Chains A and B, each alone.
Chain A
């Protein structure tokens, strides 16, 4: 008699790991198929989590690369401020050595026009005070001279500029975009320092910079050097205390709205990765359920020699964990490569559209651990249920011939349960916006639950259709499918999720395009529009001072000009908001809002007085305010209380958290007076082409702007939108990959399990072709089953999600996604046929004798 060794758990686990590995090796094809699903999901999630920090890092780097100072102070809102409010305070603090004020902004250069600095896509224009800057950090001038107080139109360039614009030397000139139009600058010196070539720093005097951004007397950064031996943290704390909450120390600008926009886009891929893992979990669950049945004898034997239930469960869980580990490891590798590929591709796009280049992949340990944890957890959870079933294997199972369990009973219950859940889902869908998305999800879940019970009736419904092409093989295939309703249900559900996503995306694309069109029609009543090149990223735009608007207004064809201004801000809670400044009187003549309540006129009227703000629907829901509330906004003048006067969306702002305030308030609180967009109405009957030509003439001084006929612009916008939405179809197709793996997996399992039967069919005279047709018919049944469920839940999901968007203020019309439905059915059938190719061929090629002896 042996004594127990409860302490030595590791021995058991190690032996089980060995067993798991060998079992997995014993069924290679299935292992590969199941693992692929994990690989896919983990790769997606890891890739996203690599790309996001890389972008963040890239942005943070360019944002903070200005200084070599010990400490920097910026406004919480990100906007400029009066140096007198900060500099004296900071220099008065103990252990502070020197302080200097800087006004700088990164902005993109137009790709066309006469303002370019050679190949430079983006610059960081830094206005410095030559009198004090060298107290804070050292500049080594390699050629020419440093800036001097009183310099105007003089610039100091980094040495690296020679690579981008070789024609620039000390003494040459270059044109620079400013809010007041193009200005010619003289190169007075080159620095020894190479500089950041993705966004070279061009140093000018503070006064020049203030003129360029139309912010006279303002700075946006204070650089601080410490006295020798000073305690950096203590000084920083003292400065923070002295300046209050409106200022922040050493913060890289992370509230860039470009990044926020990308985060939203990439989050879609995160969802895709999670969905893929969800489907992967289905696959693992399905595989291991089969494995447990197949291995009944082994498990029973282990029980007979004394394995406890928990030990058996552990064995199966370990096996599924091994798969999870392998899948996760490969997934991480694939994800890394994917991220590398995407970064490279995105770098291209970025340099084309956003004029940012030089993205490099940042390795992120939390991202890696997170993706790995999610992958392993998926395998663990999906493996656990079958493992628990395995634990219940009676020892006597080893000694008895197999008795297939009666699954019909369970199937009936799942049908009833699923139907109840689905009805609840539909009720929720019909109640309206609030619960609609939940209703859709509930409906989908109900479908998954009901699936085992649906297999038989649906197969019966479909098979007359199938018998057209398959005659008797169709009947056999149906019989095979119905025999394992659980497995067919899981496979169908996997396919369903993929196809439902396809249907939903088709509907969303239709509805979204319609929303964009309606917004465009409603908001752009103007004839012409002047836009900076990268409209999506206001904070890297140099706008124009009032001269541009005045010159346009002076044109004989022009009747009205409305302008849009921009500032960034945060709420008291730190929520980033884009602040759009309009002049209600002018703007209402050239554009309109889509309002949820009241009329656009009332909305404009509200902006005329006090600190009133109109919120976009998204802004209101992100900040969590109601119309009528007061709230505190961080401004360049410190915290200011604004009033939520209403909800208003327009084409540019409906998808971001933005508020509209009057330009008077924007100038007072944010010191921003640049126009970043001009909307123009012409005199009735004026020659549009002539007006456009005149406009373009003026814009030679403002190359940061381009002029468009509004009609053309809307068309352009619609094209861009549909182009972006096509990417969502890509997402849907990616989701179909695990669904296809699921089909392949199930067909492979079915054939393995029926090896002996196939042998009998062949032995009594079935031809290879007939065997192949049986498998193909089975795949088609599965495909059609998944498609039928996918279409139903796709319609429910599209309806639910479009209704749900209503709650964030996007009232989208619902379009029945007929094209999506047809596509889903076609894709389902094609996937099934594709997945059937290999298993059908394997089945047909089975050696009869060996098949007959298969245990």
Chain B
């Protein structure tokens, strides 16, 4: 996650000093994203070095002078190109459940169908919980939270649909024979035997 671009996006709105920026991150993105003030300061320094932001010193009567940061033209360009660069989604393949399911296919104390049902129960429980939260959330005042929950429902939905697909596949196959690893030939091939095995 890019703290750098978050700061640029906030400064794009209006010039601010570092402390305010740190506070605002949480308010806007509305996650448990706890960004430390130190991290804000160091990032700002790196941005200054890269000429993406600059600051003016503001004199105050009762406190020490503060640096008010603003975005430079170069910073604006950087922000724009960030917005226009799509985030590449990683496929979250081969998670723990996937392994469990595939192993159950080999045969065992529990059928793969039961494994799927069990997982589905869990996914539905989660989906239900998220849905309930979503029902309480007000998109007008809590839009980032709502968007986040909806994202979760969609992911859970996708998982559930995958499970549905798995069930359908199992139904179609009825009897699944797992592939055996092809034994790698070792040493000299025994010619004679190879001939005789030809049927």
A and B touching (Cβ–Cβ under 8 A): no
Q: Chain A: residues with CB nearer than 8 A to chain B?
A: none
Q: Chain B: residues with CB nearer than 8 A to chain A?
A: none
